[in-house]
Amino acid sequence: MQFYNLLLLIGQAILYFTVMVCLLQSRHRIGLGVFLCALGVMHFLETYLASVFYIALPFGVISPGSTVLFSGKLMMILLLYIKEDAAIVRQPIYGLLVGNFLLVGLVMILRNHQTLPLIDGKVPDIAFIDEIGWLMIWGTTLLFVDSIGIILLYERIGSWFRAFPALRILICAMAVLTFDQLGFYVALRVISGAPIEVLYGGWMAKMGAAAVYTVLFVIFLRLTRHHEARSVVSLGVGDIFHVLTYRERYEQLLEAAGRDHLTGAYGRSRYDAEGPRIIEAAVRRGQPLSMLVIDIDNFKLINDSLGHTAGDRILKKVSDVLMANLRSDDHLFRYGGEEFVVICERLPKEAAHSMADRLRRTISDAILKDEGSEVTVSVGISAAPADGRSLLQLFEHADRRLYSAKQSGRDRVCADDAAYASAPA
């Protein structure tokens, strides 16, 4: 029976998620209001189930209202934020808060009516309405805090988990649902005398719901990421959602503006803006830092013999190889023409030499010209503070060593002022 209950819960979660994301995905055709109404209309059912409807699972006693519906609603709010923006997502958050406070206010007035017993045995249960009303107020307040919290947490850990979206979503869901379970259990304990088993079992169920919804979440995002683009509207900065909206769009615009359109590497403007800051921070902290200046050998000949289109393809391929083989502490810039600069934080010169030689070999192995010959690069290396403490000083040393590598026969790495430091393998 417990296993059967678990299967039913998973089925409910899949059904809820499927219907809600279909409505969200159809918002451009049928309007966002359908999704928002569906999101809010089940709040009474969530609260009712959370207060009186419990089932047994292998790890404890839980309520489907809290496990499936509330957890799903919170995930839908996060999904709406990701697919739209903070200005849109505040609508259901504020709407649910105001709507449920209004509902309780109306109930407080309705209870003063003199009712007529027109149907035998049917009388309004005012005590139950009061209980549900207070739970709805508390649950809605928690939802308001949870919604802001999950969005803020999603943004806060974005720089750490940008390459791992599933883990990012799962951490947000588990953290906020843990807080919610603790908060809602306090109300259940005070108002309805819920036993401690409800706290532990409900928490375990919500962690499971977070995992299930995260899997569904990531599948949906991967299926739809190429079919939608965020719309940009002009907004004033008035509350936390406006701040999130503008910050996110600013960061996206800054990221796009700083990229070289051909290679995808950061452009010269980002090099001039961020290079000094990166080097200054490394010198101040006493951390090693190296610079690699990488130049494609005989690139003018490639353009002259194979055409500029072929040259562009090679530039893009070299950039792709570099980006695929750099560390998270490395910063790739297209300095100009066929020349790239890599600023490597926390990397001493000896390690930078090994990395540069590996990059040189990887590029010659991976990229061929149209007529079949290998593409090679030459690399000059400098390091702070031995070769300088500024962007200009490091570049001058690395560029001079690049010239030395070129003069020594190309397809080489030069890390000092000798003729060359590494011959082709």
- What are the structural domains of the chain? 2-111+123-225+236-252 (no CATH), 266-414 (3.30.70.270)
**Nearest of 92, 110, 105, 86 to residue 41 by alpha carbon:** 92
- The Cα 60–Cα 200 span in angstroms is 7
Please report which residue ranges of 157-267 form alpha helices under DSSP H. Answer: 158-161, 165-192, 196-224, 240-257
* Phi and psi torsions of 23, nearest 5°: -65, -40
Is 0.75 topped by the overall pTM? Answer: no
- The Cα 79–Cα 387 span in angstroms is 49
**Nearest of 63, 306, 294, 19 to residue 184 by alpha carbon:** 63
Is the C-alpha dihedral spanning 31, 36, 38, 39 positive or negative? positive
Q: Which residues contact 362 (CB under 8 A, 6 or more apart)?
A: 321, 325
Residue 148 host element (H or E): helix 126-156
- The Cα 235–Cα 91 span in angstroms is 14
- The Cα 124–Cα 131 span in angstroms is 13
Torsion angle defined by CA atoms of residues 70, 76, 79 and 80, in that order, rounded to the nearest 10 degrees: -130
**Residue 234: strand, helix, or coil:** coil
Is the C-alpha dihedral spanning 415, 420, 421, 425 positive or negative? positive
- The Cα 150–Cα 177 span in angstroms is 9
* Residues, the chain: 425
pLDDT tens, N- to C-terminus, the chain (425 residues): 788 888 898 999 999 999 999 998 888 788 888 888 888 887 777 777 877 788 888 877 888 888 888 899 999 988 888 877 666 777 888 887 888 778 778 877 877 887 777 677 677 776 777 667 777 778 778 888 888 889 888 888 887 887 788 999 999 999 999 999 898 888 878 877 778 888 888 899 999 999 999 999 888 888 876 444 333 333 333 444 544 544 555 455 555 557 888 998 999 989 999 999 999 999 999 999 999 999 999 999 998 888 999 999 999 999 999 999 999 899 999 999 999 999 999 999 999 999 999 999 999 999 987 667 889 999 999 999 999 999 999 999 999 999 999 999 999 999 988 654 444 44
Rg of the Cα atoms in the chain: 30
Greatest pairwise CA separation for the chain in angstroms: 104
Residue 293 host element (H or E): strand 289-296
